[in-house]
Chains A and B, each alone.
Chain A
């Protein structure tokens, strides 16, 4: 109970911070590319508030407009309409080199003709800092990303992970108000990516700079972010803390995109005392909390780890095991329901005692099932 209260406190603190000026405030941004029949709407009336000092992630599949939003903030693109405020000030009239915002590019974009140290010092030289101050800052940045020994190397003599750290140091050196990261980890292998995730989080804590991170990797977004904005087809569907996004997706797309989820088409049978009785295709009825949904057709969403298997004929749903997939820390059991829908149940360990074709039942607590609008 106390724990819950503390959590509530934390939430209200976060909410109170909303009074303070947003690091980035994007308002009704519209951006289209091309003309006529080829016209593509990259951003469709996007509004977003990014708080100071937070690790904010723009998450979505490729082509959802997340990179376009980042480029609008950096100044590489201009919006068709809408405004971008940086710490309360309009920056849309400023070209990229006048915006106190730096970008870490997906391709790193390190200058191949100068050394690692000169790459990191580039922004400082352009800002006209004096030489001694540049030298000490570069040294500090090299130390921060643990590359002091490689200061005089050329970028092409570095590994992918090292190049990545140089790109980070280069973008952080001028102490930007906001750091923009455009899928910076996409080119790294899994192990290195995990390391860099921790490293990035550490750097953000250390510098206190607002990070705006673009990724299509939902796991990356969940691990690193303070808050996530899920985007699809040029719109922001949901903004919230990772736990909110995962546990209470407001949109079918969000539920589907973040983690694995089972979506069961359902039909409202009747409503009483704030409860909905929903018939799930496949036979059974479940009781769900009524959240005021108008439509009678909806989706019932259940995370694989929230469902369990039961003896045939006892659970909510019944079906036949059609696949058993071991993934290390657990096993996914795919159950083919009577109406043909595939339902995944995640279990711990590797021994399930099941084999293909076994008739099983699936059960889950009513609280584990979420209503999603069709």
Chain B
């Protein structure tokens, strides 16, 4: 049988396709090999503890900590309801729900506070000449050089009754008696803003730095006042940074432990402290696990709703 040109070119192209496929497979394998250390780490120390938490939340607490291997929904029920000792009827238990809502309120407040303080800061850095920006960014990250615990203790010394603020105000004659800040919600609120402000500034900076200053000039030229340049051009364009910053402040703020423990004096609980107590003095591991998972679920649902909303919005515009 004669071999035609077509046959040759056909088999040549087949060989090429095959070679490409082999090459592709090798590349994929190499990628997985490079990924695997990180995946193993996440699996071992991320997913496994999470699974343990999930399993424990459906068990009964042991008398001296730990768990009894008996399936139970008590931990979840306990979070929202209480069982009457005498007739076993359930009624809503507000004590945990109120801690939960307090946490959301404080964290939301801190997020808004950090946004209001962080936006001008990020804008200031982004509008500096390129060679000076790194210096200012360095200053923003400087607090991370010291442990959060120590920084929180330092704050405690500043805002307590005999602290710098109160002695200063009193010596200036502005106030007679010290203003009580420490061990109040205000203290926790200030502490949260302080702790998480850099997490707001950095993503805001990242999106503001990309902002084309000529767009601001264009808006200004087209009769927009300074305020309307901000609301009509700068804020919409900085939206990705605003969202990222808010997520980065709100979520860790919601689960904050050290700040409410020290500045709230352990009296004003946030959900982080509640969970910690369950694994400590209360010795109710299943309840602690359930509370942690409820927190996680609420955050996840909120984020998913946001993602769905924003993709829909993006699609309708595009």
By a beta-carbon cutoff of 8 Å, the part of chain A in contact with chain B is: 74-76, 95-98, 101-103, 105, 107, 109-113, 115, 122-123, 126-127, 154, 170-171, 174
Contact = CB atoms under 8 A, between A and B. Distances in A.
Interface in B190-245: 212, 214-215, 217-225, 228, 232-233, 236-237
B112 to A, nearest CB: 23
B225 A97 contact: yes
Contact of A103 (B221, B236, B318): B221
Given A76-B217, A105-B214, A123 B222 contact: yes
B223 A127 contact: yes
A97 B220 contact: yes
A127 B221 CA distance: 11
B221 A97 contact: yes
Contacts of B212: 107, 109
A319 to B, nearest CB: 50
A111 B233 contact: yes
Contacts of B308: none
B contact face: mostly helix, strand, loop, or mixed: helix
B217 A112 contact: no
Nearest to A180: B221
A102 B220 CA distance: 10
Contacts of B219: 111, 122, 126
B215 A109 contact: yes
Given A109-B212, A126-B224, A154 B218 contact: no
Contacts of A111: 215, 218-219, 233
A75 B220 CA distance: 10
A97 B45 CA distance: 57
B26 interface: no
A255 B165 CA distance: 73
A126 B225 CA distance: 8
Nearest to B317: A154
A154 to B, nearest CB: 7
Contacts of B236: 113
A305 B81 CA distance: 98
The 3 closest A-B pairs by CB, nearest first: A123-B222, A109-B218, A126-B223
Contacts of A115: 317
25 contacts: A76-B217, A76-B220, A76-B221, A95-B220, A96-B220, A97-B220, A98-B223, A102-B222, A103-B217, A105-B214, A105-B218, A111-B218, A111-B219, A122-B219, A122-B222, A122-B224, A122-B232, A123-B223, A126-B219, A126-B222, A126-B228, A127-B223, A154-B318, A170-B222, A171-B221
A310 to B, nearest CB: 55
Contacts of A96: 217, 220-221
